[in-house]
Structure 1
């Protein structure tokens, strides 16, 4: 079985779309439509005979008895009620019903009673109840995602539904480990364990050479990574513009022409994005120039394309080329917008200090540099605020941290009282008293060694890539069998001494594209020499046959993460 969420999701969609011949309609709900759209295009569906794609809830008066109806929805009472109404007054010649997760027996019985015209040809459970973003990345589109684990909460149950559906899609019954300091992680693990016991037959898969392992982490263990300015293509787009289900809204970009105010990032259809999604900002400029130069050669355009502005003029000058090269247009516009935002917000100045604070203890030096940035009129107040929060995480327990002065300065600059409250909310959520992780690599001897080595090998050329997300060290510890059971216990006792080769990590509270990228490196999907600490983990993983999948409640940028943290009104431990 391939340990790859895109392959698993695509296989289910193909079985739905291609399972019967003839003219077909596909009815979905909001969630399943997005899940399908991430792995299967409308053109692909059209080529397989699907001439109509609609929401299940859409009213239909026209009779379409010549078409077969494919229904793919989540198994909940809302969808059951709509299905019952559809079957009571059917518009299609026959129905093939697919549920995205385990279906309760009572729901199936109600559905069968509704099929009075006997038009339902099949009912299947196809376990695609997650959003597959990359081979190594999925999320569950759950917001809010920083939750209290008490009581019956449909959002918490959604986490259990999504994770268990991925287990079934990957055909595995894994050992489960969790962050013992997080009630939320324990809650999810307990429910997952109960679910697998209740559905023992479904989870009865052929034993593997080494049993997969699932580690349920809490975002509070690494509140730093979502706050750092990313410098790779996919992560930068999400941080500075925003990505939702592979769609990017460019309506506020001054360079977004008609037809490009919303663009789609699809690694299957878009070669440039597939090659460059994990590339750093410096490489992007070179690669987009190369792409434009190839089109320039075809058009025999004799002027310079050395800057983003030149490229925009070139594309404007050749409308016939523009109409046939949407990929080039899209990425020139995206990189132009990223370049504009980086320049206008002076993000390189901000990020350089971010990286230094994240990777080095130097209170006085960092204070002086931070106050200098706070006084700069050219830097956006939200970037000053985010940088101050990173500083607060590093120096929260140092009496001389001058956090009061920093807050007063931000208040004078116009930051609202509600935003200032985020200092205490963030430290309550992911400060030293809440987390047990060594995100600054200064608690343990191993962490201090890593920090020293990192400072010794990182050069000027990758000053923006010094910070290593906590997940890299956790993956390294799992692979080398040194992840402590006192901190990350098993839900049920593990049998056998084999180190798991397939590792799934799920972060309650959300994941980031920065973390997805390092997992792609560890899996061998991207080579990098400029980040030796990550490369060392990747070399070990690939030499020993490890494969990692990463998931989360949602995919955060700093804005969405801080929005969630602002909701914190209770201690997490």
Structure 2
């Protein structure tokens, strides 16, 4: 199962069906992101695509000698824009591809507007999701409830992902989650609707499984500092559709203020995105050494053969140069932040809190880090949230209030302080299926030893709750009382599993899925969610899920420290 390949094949087929000759690619704002996640602009240009246009841009120049490939979502707004386009066509012919199912009425509406008979093709190709990685997809929807356009968008997108993977799954969901159950019910109805049965007529010896989980079962993973390359970049800078904003890095050059980290177009990133930070530094050093050696060899051009070889290798040479500069910039800035803000000490305390039970020591360490001005306020806030989760029912209210007062002294906004009560309200143990801290014994500490100056050794002990769920599923021990079936139960252990996490997934969980896929344990896994979280976006989600004003007023009334 590979969601990137699924979207790429659809896009390639769309372009190929338009035939030879120059073409223009017309998309909407969402499909631009969908296509750009799997194809770079230069890759698309090599397929005889002359230009890219937004469907909403009605002021486009008429070019009758070009064919138009329209890749759009089947929304009411897009249908209306297409109707306007077809009444006065700007191109010689139109090949229209919807990224999801479209109703018959909309097709008839388009046909009535095609007076000049410029439409050559109308098809459904189910590329209606963001293929973040081979086994990871998302929709960039931050806050998912059971109503509104965002909810329908997610339902439609999951159906498209299943169709692109050619899977008609059984469905299991988190019993304690209302959103999970509602989504399971709506997807079950959609998949088994009489009008959709032909679409889902896929043969499979062992039926696949769609497992719908809820972020509330694991609030810990998105609150931790991450140390694998992709997850760390997302935690520190944020990754949006493979793009990373480095503009706030001191001394960054203009061309590196925004970079692209895509496993499809960046070989170094693809090979290193799951490695720990220390290994990344060592591998970048190897890449720099290789680049320097190539520079020396190219400096001596003593024959025609040498010149020919140089010219032939020049595109790769330039590409390597850009790759070196990009990753050196990223790792340099990460190293600066790790050192200046004591992220190693913060991370060690985080790992101690979630893997051991030493309330007194943990409380003192958190208190000490909050008082350290070099530690970032966001890290202090995350530490408080973690210790509140870890010692639910064991911390006195006065102890929690004391930590919050220390946070206030750092001038953290009152709204952010509401997070403490919000996480206790919405993510407390009685609302979770999981027992996050059931085992209090420290796990074996893994040391990553690579001696590149400026990239220190890191420790990782915590594993996402998702790993426990999937391991239990592999062993046939996933409790039906906690994760019931929607419809008939599945008899055999599934070989293909699509996991969808309501409320956001993390790159740490994507890393765990990649490890499980590569271990050849007889189960192939794809992970999806409405969004990809880091700690900042997760804290925003907590506030949206549980807005509180009472905490703010109570903390204002507390006496100063």
Same fold (TM over 0.5): yes
In the alignment, the residues of structure 1 paired with residue 354 and residue 320 of structure 2 have an alpha-carbon distance, to the nearest angstrom, of 45
**Structure 2 CA distance, aligned partners of 1:128 and 1:406?**
47
Structure 2 partner of 1:521: 515
| Gapped regions of structure 2 (runs ≥ 5) | 298-316, 450-456, 549-561
Structure 1 CA distance for aligned equivalents of residues 488 and 320 of structure 2:
59
Alpha-carbon deviations, 1:496-539, whole Å to 9, x = none? x3210001100011111111011111111xxxxxxxxxxxxx4x
1:330 aligns with 2:326: yes
How far 1:463 sits from its partner (Å)? 6.1
What is residue 306 of structure 2 aligned with on the other side?
none
Structure 1, gaps ≥5 residues long: 302-320, 443-447, 525-537
- 1:121 aligns with 120
2:25, 2:54 → 1: CA distance? 8
TM-score, reference length from structure 2? 0.89
How far did residue 250 of structure 1 move?
Answer: 1.1
The answer to whether the 8 Å contact 2:227/2:458 transfers is no
Deviation of 1:456 after TM superposition, in Å, equals 4.6
DSSP-derived class of the 1:455 partner: coil
Match of 1:157 among 146, 152, 164: 152
| 3-state SS of 2:256 partner | coil
- Which residue does the alignment assign to 2:411? 414
1:249 equivalent in structure 2: 245
Contact between 1:172 and 1:203, CA under 8 Å: does it hold in 2?
Answer: no
**CA displacement at 1:34 relative to structure 2:** 0.5
Q: Does 1:559 align with 2:536?
A: yes
Counterpart selection for 2:265 from 266, 269, 282: 269
Work out the CA distance in 2 between the residues paired with 1:346 and 1:261.
24
After superposition, the Cα gap between the structure-2 partners of 1:344 and 1:58, relative to the gap in structure 1 and judged at 3 Å, is same
Q: Deviations over 1:359-407 (max 9, x none)?
A: 0111111111111112212211221111111111101211447212111
Distance in structure 2 (CA, Å) of the matches to 1:62 and 1:419: 49
Distance 2:245 2:113 in 1: 42
- Determine which of 229, 239, 245 is the counterpart of 1:233: 229
Label 1:298 to 1:10 Cα distance change in 2 as closer, same or farther (>3 A): same
Q: Does 1:507 align with 2:501?
A: yes
Could you give the per-residue CA deviations for residues 428-453 of structure 1, whole angstroms, max 9, x where no partner exists? 2222132120222x1xxxxx3xx64x
Give 1:323 deviation, angstroms: 8.4
Q: Distance in 1 between matches of 2:220 and 2:93?
A: 53
Corresponding position of 1:533: none
Distance 1:390 1:129 in 2: 36
Count how many residue pairs are aligned between Structure 1 and Structure 2. 520
CA contact 1:217–1:508 (8 Å) conserved in 2? yes
Equivalent residues of 2:505, 2:533 under 8 A apart = yes
**C-alpha deviation, 1:144, in angstroms:** 2.3
2-structure distance, mates of 1:342, 1:29: 39
Tell me if the contact between 2:86 and 2:114 (Cα under 8 Å) persists in the aligned partners: yes
Task: Name the Cα RMSD after superposition.
Answer: 1.9
Matched, 1:289 2:285: yes
Provide the C-alpha distance between the structure 1 equivalents of 2:319 and 2:185, rounded to a whole number of angstroms.
54
Where does residue 185 of structure 1 map in the other structure?
180
User: In structure 2, how many angstroms separate the alpha carbons of the residues matched to 1:296 and 1:22?
Assistant: 42
Query: Match for residue 378 of structure 1?
Result: 374
